[in-house]
Amino acid sequence: MEASNFSTEKLLRNYLRTLQNNLNTSTIESVIDFLQEPLDFLENGNSWHGPATSPESQKYFITKLYSKHLKFIIDNIIINWSETLLRRQKDMLVMEYFVPKGTKNLQKIKRASISLQVLVSYFSTSYQSQNDLKIYQKHQTYLPTIIQKFVFSLLKSYSIQDFFDAILKNEEVDIRERYSEWKEFVGLICSIPERSANLMAFNQNLGSREESSFLSEAYPIWKTMISSFSSHVAESFLTAFLLHSQSQDLSKITNPVSTEDKSHYLVRKVATLLSLLIGKDNNEFVSYLIKFKYFVGGKIFPISIVRVLCCFLSWGGFQDRPDDMMKTFTGQIDNLRLGLNDDLTLLLKTLISSWSDPTFIKHASSSVQMYITSAILIIFGYLPKSTLIKAAILRDITPGITRWLQSTSEEARKMGMVTAEIFSKLTDVLENVLDFELNPEDDDVKYFRQLVELKDGIVDLPDFDYEDKVEADLNGEQISEEYSNHEDNVNNEDLIEIKDVKDDNETRVVDSDDEDDFNTHASVFISSYKLSSDDPDKLELAMNAAKNLIRQKTGFGTELDDHATELAKILIGLQDNFELTGFEENRHAAMIALICGSPKIAVPFIIQQFFEKKYSLAERYMILSTLSTGARELAGLQSIEDKKEKETAIIDTLSQEISKLDLTTIRSLKETSNDKVRRFSRKPLVESTRTTSVNRFNELAAKTFFFPLTAGFWNLTRDSDLGNFMKDPTLIQRYVTTLGVFVQCS
């Protein structure tokens, strides 16, 4: 019986492969047969010409082959044949695979759960080179739109209870496998909102009509899901959305304080998406996140994101319907007046309270000080004079301005003076306006003064199609930049080759038995970094991007913690089989980023791996090196060393320049000097440059770093078989040195 089943399965695989190969004929009839026959096989239809249909073969097709079949359809049919199928009125064949229609039964629910998992795996953004974007332009525009529609249709047609029944109540599968599959499925479902936000920020090539339709359909789903999020999932979701907006839409704003109409439009576009996602009746944590934590909670966003947040908060009364929000794209805002109890006014009072605090003025880093000051000045631009006066902002901000002006730091005094000047200009009569006679050509002064003029949420924009204008401007900039960057390196033959690849519509044949091929691109999700040691392109791309991705994910949600041990295990055991450039440096940097980003989870696991027998001496050296460097970074010592090296380099350069000068002799100076001697003290300079360094390593030193490393050595000494590698004198020296670094850092 088993031999018969095996033979049937083999015949089924071979027949499906034949259907795939027939697509090389590039006829619509072969495409329709490829789509229709497997559906009839599952539903006992008449067009199936393959092996005999049986419940066992149907079960095998669904459990073993269905997901690969769906991926083949996405990669080949949807991209190349959707328009033709639509003209022939056969597009519902594709829909039936991903969103099974009709009366629900166990088979259709299983197919729906597999479909959702496949769709979500494609439901992701990617960063690609310019040439890749040319070749896969259709993937970046049309395909995400289709996948979005399929995902929404699935979530409307099938409930979580349906998927629960199909996966967890399937008694034909071992209970442990069911729980494991259900856990993965739930994780995938929870990632949909974040992936959706990333795509909404990433997809720049959708026309305004398609984007408006997508928003109208998407926003109630995500709005409902966000309202039930736990706090860390909501924060991860919204933060991912903002960061990817920065890398996509907002990256078109070349000057962060630009007041061009194009800049206002792009800020409003992202703020509109944020408004549709959150809605008017958002939960308490989301309100806290937007109105407090993103400003004074320790996070520092680029100024363009601050513009988006302020723009969003200024629209407090426009969050009821998507039609209302879409008006803000073109500046159709009527009678927007911000009063005492509006979000921006309340946020301003919170910011001023932090900004005026003596500890903040004396010990906060310059980047944090500039971040808070910038937010205050942006909000100043939104609020009318009457609101600033009635809200008693003068009473709140005066003590802070006094403290800033008394600071020993020139940069701090400058921020205080600019803030005082701007506030005085907004609230005082002309003859009483403060003027500290600051240099108008100073970059910082110009930057701060420009912030108050932004007013993205309330400025009037001309009525024309900004979507087309912005995209046209961007395309022109990209073409110019690409030409200038590659003018000397790309010849006509290369361009012809690229064009040939782009125009090649030959269907890629996929073997159902083999692993699926994927285009190499850097993902924005840590879970996508399952590094493949047998694919040099994928490995090199992942290694180059791993460090930055890990650091971007640090402190945002739980994604880094969830995958910390798996990433550590992969990075430690990875082999440079292809002699990739910078492999060891990239691996070392990624390990340090992981140690600093998730120390409580990653470090104990890494130390445990150090004492495993399966690793070489070189890998153990690497582990100790990354632990030492990570500890120094957590303690704040690494940045100090980098600063010293930079200062040393500057001093060396100055010494060389000074040696070239024709300096005045000491005797001539004595002859021309006066009897009076001026004495100078370095105390003000020292005070102004002194900063408070936060040692994150202190709370981790004993429990996370020192004791696990010493306890592991103690256990090895009691087992002579396992402890042989620790008899290497150079490794022992490195081990003791690492412990010494831990003590120094603490």
Least confident of 113-117, 535-539, 706-710: 535-539
Structure tokens given for 324? 């209302």
3-class state of residue 145 by DSSP = helix
Are residues 298 and 365 both part of a single domain? Answer: no
- Which residues, 6+ apart, have CB-to-CB distance to 58 below 8 Å? 41, 42, 107
Residue 605 lies in a domain: yes
What is the structure's pLDDT at 398?
A: 93
Structure tokens given for 111? 């197919």
Are residues 555 and 613 both part of a single domain? Answer: yes
What is the structure's pLDDT at 380?
A: 93
Asked if 306 and 375 count as a contact pair (C-beta separation under 8 A), the reply is: yes
Asked if 538 and 523 count as a contact pair (C-beta separation under 8 A), the reply is: no
43 — pLDDT class (breaks 50, 70, 90): confident
CATH of the domain at 706: 1.25.40.720
Single out the residue in 410, 433, 451 at which a domain terminates.
Answer: 451
**CA distances, 43 to each of 73, 103, 107, 118 (Å):** 19, 12, 10, 21
List pLDDT tens digits, range 409-463.
899 999 999 999 999 999 988 888 888 989 989 999 999 999 999 998 888 877 6
Are residues 356 and 308 both part of a single domain? Answer: no
The mean pLDDT of 383-403, rounded to a whole number, is: 91
3-class state of residue 522 by DSSP = strand
Are residues 296 and 279 both part of a single domain? Answer: yes
φ/ψ of 126, rounded to 5, equals: -150, 150
What is the structure's pLDDT at 447?
A: 93
Are residues 569 and 602 both part of a single domain? Answer: yes
What is the structure's pLDDT at 247?
A: 77
pLDDT surpassing 80 at residue 353: yes
The count of other CB atoms within 10 Å of the CB of residue 289 is: 20
What is the structure's pLDDT at 413?
A: 92
Least confident of 43-47, 531-535, 539-543: 531-535
Single out the residue in 431, 451, 471 at which a domain terminates.
Answer: 451
Residue 21 lies in a domain: no
Are residues 278 and 372 both part of a single domain? Answer: no
The mean pLDDT of 305-315, rounded to a whole number, is: 90
| DSSP conformation letters of 690-722 | --PPP-TTTTTIIIIIIHHHHHHHHHHHT-TTG
Structure tokens given for 262? 């194009």
Q: Among the ranges 117-131, 213-227, 275-289, 331-345, which has the highest mean pLDDT value?
A: 275-289
Residue 144 lies in a domain: no
φ/ψ of 611, rounded to 5, equals: -95, 5
pLDDT surpassing 70 at residue 659: no
Residue 410 lies in a domain: yes
Asked if 24 and 509 count as a contact pair (C-beta separation under 8 A), the reply is: yes
Structure tokens given for 46? 């008449």
Number of domains, the chain: 3
684 — pLDDT class (breaks 50, 70, 90): low
582 torsion bin: left (phi>0), alpha (psi -120 to 50), beta (else)? left
**CA distances, 286 to each of 232, 238, 273, 280 (Å):** 10, 9, 15, 11
Residue 247 lies in a domain: yes
Question: What residues are paired with 127 via a beta bridge?
Answer: 522
Are residues 355 and 433 both part of a single domain? Answer: yes
Are residues 253 and 213 both part of a single domain? Answer: yes
DSSP 8-state secondary structure symbol assigned to residue 523: E
Are residues 294 and 399 both part of a single domain? Answer: no
Are residues 628 and 577 both part of a single domain? Answer: yes
109 vs 473 pLDDT, higher one: 109
Asked if 586 and 540 count as a contact pair (C-beta separation under 8 A), the reply is: no
List pLDDT tens digits, range 539-556.
788 888 888 888 877 766
Return d(Cα 400, Cα 416) in angstroms, integer: 8
Measured over the CA atoms of residue 154, residue 156, residue 160 and residue 163, the dihedral's sign is negative
Are residues 255 and 388 both part of a single domain? Answer: no
Return d(Cα 413, Cα 374) in angstroms, integer: 15
Residue 265 lies in a domain: yes
pLDDT surpassing 90 at residue 468: no
Asked if 206 and 141 count as a contact pair (C-beta separation under 8 A), the reply is: yes
Q: Among the ranges 143-147, 534-538, 727-731, which has the highest mean pLDDT value?
A: 727-731
Single out the residue in 451, 471, 489 at which a domain terminates.
Answer: 451
What CA dihedral angle connects 98, 102, 103 and 107, to 10 degrees?
-30
Residue 654 lies in a domain: no
**CA distances, 376 to each of 301, 337, 359, 418, 460 (Å):** 14, 18, 18, 12, 22
Residue 22 lies in a domain: no
Are residues 473 and 615 both part of a single domain? Answer: no
List pLDDT tens digits, range 629-649.
999 999 888 654 555 555 555
- Domain containing residue 556: 525-638+699-745
Kindly provide the residue ranges of all beta strands, DSSP E only, lying in 521-653, ordered along the sequence. 522-523
List pLDDT tens digits, range 260-274.
988 999 998 888 878
Asked if 703 and 711 count as a contact pair (C-beta separation under 8 A), the reply is: no
